[in-house]
Structure 1
Amino acid sequence: MAKLRISTLERLRQVEGSLESRVNRVRKRTFAIVQVAVAAGLAFWVARYFFDHPAPFFAPITVVIILGLTGGDRIRRALELSLGVTVGVGLGDLLVHYLPGGMWQIPLIVGISLLVASFLSKSPLVSNQVAIGSILIATILPPGTEGGGPDRMIDAFIGSVIGLATIALLPSSPLTSGRQEVSKLLGIVSSVLDDVAVALDAHGTRDAHELDQALDAVHNSQPDIDNMVSAAKVGREVSNISPLMWGSRRRVRSLERLIPPVENAMRNTRVIARRAMVLSQDGDSVSTRLINIVDELADIAASLSDVFDARTEANEAQDIPELVRRLQIIGARSDMGVISDDGVLSEYVILAQARSITADLLEVCGWSRESALAALAPTSETPAYPPEVWPGVLEED
């Protein structure tokens, strides 16, 4: 246990405040700005000079709205938004022309717009954009102003087409964000397990301050899990729609397969941290073998975090087999003999969660769930997955 270590919060600060992380954020924002600026200018130019519209403001506006969408299901939501903006502008022109003026005009326009939108799609995004487009036409840009009439609807359609084409032809990397989120979550798992191992090694006498910090980190990790899921969805959409990224589809699918085991590892880490807190408060202790297992899992999770942060398949091919071997050793040794003679309930729970995390990390390394469970030493006379102990694994290390 005499190794250089950092607390969970310190590791998070290092990850979020590192030079590489800041550079990646600046690069991503710069790319997004250039992407929107180029697409908006192109939409204005096409509407102005190809369609001879004098003031095609809806074309660049629609581009900015579509490219401003983030998160998963971006393509579907972009299509819905395109439909809503285009129909809203056209419907607004039509309703303002035929409905009487006065205080009842806006309520009627909004009501009719939402009714029409409800027949087009069940999506709230479509309904909102149809109503907003109609209100905009009725209040700020009524018929008769420059660029009015059907031109506005055409401009909105032009902006929609160019916005979607930009997503396809100027895509962001479908893998970088997802791998960074996976790396961050594995880093949190590593740091929390490290805190747990040190707390267990103190035999219930250590101040629980760092365990409190670790629990805060895992309890606040849901946004990071959501970001990982969202990044994977965005990567799949980009690789499907962009011809430039079709070659990345296999790697994107591999990234998507990582999501369940990484999420499970995080949730199991939450449980093991809470149980370590209970054990520490009770003043109980666990066996040295169990402490070593938790400590080894922390080190393996840290190594996996570094592998995915490197963003190169070469590192994976070099490092993953060795990490798999170490996890196999842990799995083969995580039997009921780990429990001390006077073991308490918390010790049993910690062992169970350590076994689960071992299986989760094997899945992160590419194993199937069945094979990962079979790598664990059996704790039942009739295990669902008969053990597949690697020859000589218990003699190594």
Structure 2
Amino acid sequence: MPNTWARLRSGNRLKQGISRLRSNWLYVIQAGMAAGLAYLMGKVLGHDQPFFAPMAAVIVLSTTGGERFRRSIELVIGVSLGVGLGDLLIATVGTGPWQIAVAVMASIALATVIDKGVLLANQAAFAAVLVATILPPGTSGGTNRMVDAFIGGMVGLAVMAIVPESPLRSGRREIAKILGITAQVLTQVERAAAEADADAIAEALREARGTQGQINSMIAAANSGKENLNVSPLLWTQRHRIRSLIRVLNPVDNAIRNTRVLARHARHLAEIHHTPSGEQLLLLQRIAAVAGRLSDLYFGKGSESAEIPVLSRELKEIGARAGREVAVDQALPAQVMLGQTRALIVDLLQICGLSRDSAMEALAPIGTVEKYGQANVANDSVSEGNR
């Protein structure tokens, strides 16, 4: 039995590893191309051991998230600065513990004067340490290494432009994950609320509260896509698509926040042994189905042009049925749940491409409940920490 369990775990790890490789195959190609080209250019310039050229190229390509181009420039400057200053100092005073300490301090100090970015200072220190230990002056061309570092960084940026990563793929994947969690939590809440099962709702709420990492990843992926557009002219034709992607970030963020608030009030309702009306539960069920289908579409499963209009009509129909009568004579938490349900409908309609005003018009008239729901969204980050 232990051997069987070990084989299963090994199989799962292998599958996870293959999945990671599929997600990062372009980086593998970019890094290999950049390292080889950078080394070749160093050789063409007559440098015997252009070690820092491929190293700088790979470091530049390893940057992720937003402001990738700026971070890449910081890396190029930092590595070049650290190599040049390290060469100068170590060639003058020799190698040893105190010499390395001086080289690192000088590199960080100068990098800090040049730019406020921590990344630049860290890379300058890292390069100075390499010069002082593994490749001390005299082993390969002195100041040539500073040139190699600069060449490698430029090659890395060029490869980013010539072999660009899709500005949409990672951002859409992160949006799909959040929408999938929204659908799953709403389904769990709907089923548990029907039984007034506060513990099950609390479990769903914990899952919803654990999405901040995904939200951060979604924002970083969208910013990275925007940076890729700036770096690569080959992607300029996709500008309108990345703008559309960025437009839905706030509605997606609001959707998971509204889901958290809704789940919290559903738990309160269950704790006082009340259940929502059957119509309210049906609304949640239908909204969860739409969120799940949107998640599939952002994962690339299906035709958006064919299905988005269908989902928009479904949401409008749900909104038209989400009137005050759904929670009439219900306990206060049920009425708040209705407000959050309506807010969710607006969020999902915006994800489908409607403006906020158009999405609001799809809702049945209800008075001021929406204001309460929106206040909960605005204060969600604060209230989550207090409950």
Structure-2 separation of matches of 1:22 and 1:335: 49
The answer to whether residue 158 in structure 2 is matched with residue 165 in structure 1 is: yes
Residue of structure 1 in register with 2:42 after alignment: 47
Return the letter of the residue paired with 2:32.
A
Residue of structure 1 in register with 2:169 after alignment: 176
Residue of structure 1 in register with 2:66 after alignment: 72
Q: Which of these residues, 364, 370, 375, is aligned with residue 351 of structure 2? A: 364
Residue of structure 1 in register with 2:146 after alignment: 153
Deviation of 1:21 (Å)? 9.2
Structure-2 separation of matches of 1:382 and 1:175: 36
Return the letter of the residue paired with 1:143.
P
Return the letter of the residue paired with 2:55.
I
Deviation of 1:138 (Å)? 2.3
- With over 3 angstroms needed to count, the CA separation of the structure-2 counterparts of 1:316 and 1:138, relative to structure 1, is same
Counterpart mapping for 1:235-246 below 5 A = 235-246=225-236
Structure-2 separation of matches of 1:185 and 1:260: 12
Counterpart mapping for 1:98-113 below 5 A = 98-99=92-93, 104-113=98-107
Q: Which of these residues, 12, 26, 30, is aligned with residue 25 of structure 2? A: 30
- With over 3 angstroms needed to count, the CA separation of the structure-2 counterparts of 1:129 and 1:22, relative to structure 1, is closer
Structure-1 separation of matches of 2:368 and 2:91: 80
Structure-2 separation of matches of 1:373 and 1:236: 29
Deviation of 1:194 (Å)? 1.1
Which blocks of at least 5 consecutive residues in structure 2 are unaligned? Answer: 1-11, 372-387
Counterpart mapping for 1:202-221 below 5 A = 202=195, 204=196, 206=197, 208-221=198-211
- With over 3 angstroms needed to count, the CA separation of the structure-2 counterparts of 1:102 and 1:190, relative to structure 1, is closer
Aligned to 1:380, the other structure's residue is in SS state coil
Structure-2 separation of matches of 1:24 and 1:232: 21
Residue of structure 1 in register with 2:120 after alignment: 126
Percent sequence identity over aligned pairs: 43
Aligned-residue Cα RMSD (Å) equals: 2.3
Residue of structure 2 in register with 1:388 after alignment: none
Kept in 2, the 8 Å contact 1:179–1:311? The answer is: no
Residue of structure 2 in register with 1:378 after alignment: 365
Q: Whose helix fraction is larger, Structure 1's or Structure 2's?
A: 2
The answer to whether residue 287 in structure 2 is matched with residue 297 in structure 1 is: yes
Kept in 2, the 8 Å contact 1:301–1:361? The answer is: yes
Q: Residue deviations 1:303-341, cap 9 Å, x none?
A: 2112222267xx111111111111112222222211132
Deviation of 1:107 (Å)? 3.1
Instruction: Name which of structure 1's ranges 55-64 and 135-144 shifts more when overlaid on structure 2.
Output: 135-144
Aligned to 1:39, the other structure's residue is in SS state helix
Aligned to 1:143, the other structure's residue is in SS state coil
Q: Residue deviations 1:116-161, cap 9 Å, x none?
A: 112210111111111222222223322221x131110010011001
Deviation of 1:196 (Å)? 1.4
Deviation of 1:51 (Å)? 0.4
Q: Which of these residues, 247, 252, 257, is aligned with residue 262 of structure 1? A: 252
Structure-2 separation of matches of 1:100 and 1:197: 71
Residue of structure 2 in register with 1:346 after alignment: 333
- With over 3 angstroms needed to count, the CA separation of the structure-2 counterparts of 1:100 and 1:65, relative to structure 1, is closer
Residue of structure 2 in register with 1:272 after alignment: 262
Structure-2 separation of matches of 1:383 and 1:78: 45
Residue of structure 2 in register with 1:247 after alignment: 237
Q: Would you say how many aligned residue pairs link Structure 1 and Structure 2?
A: 359
Structure-2 separation of matches of 1:127 and 1:113: 7
Structure-2 separation of matches of 1:291 and 1:228: 30
- With over 3 angstroms needed to count, the CA separation of the structure-2 counterparts of 1:383 and 1:352, relative to structure 1, is closer
Structure-2 separation of matches of 1:39 and 1:280: 58
Q: Residue deviations 1:270-301, cap 9 Å, x none?
A: 11112112212221122222111111111111
Residue of structure 2 in register with 1:6 after alignment: none
- With over 3 angstroms needed to count, the CA separation of the structure-2 counterparts of 1:295 and 1:381, relative to structure 1, is closer
Kept in 2, the 8 Å contact 1:93–1:137? The answer is: yes
Deviation of 1:113 (Å)? 1.8
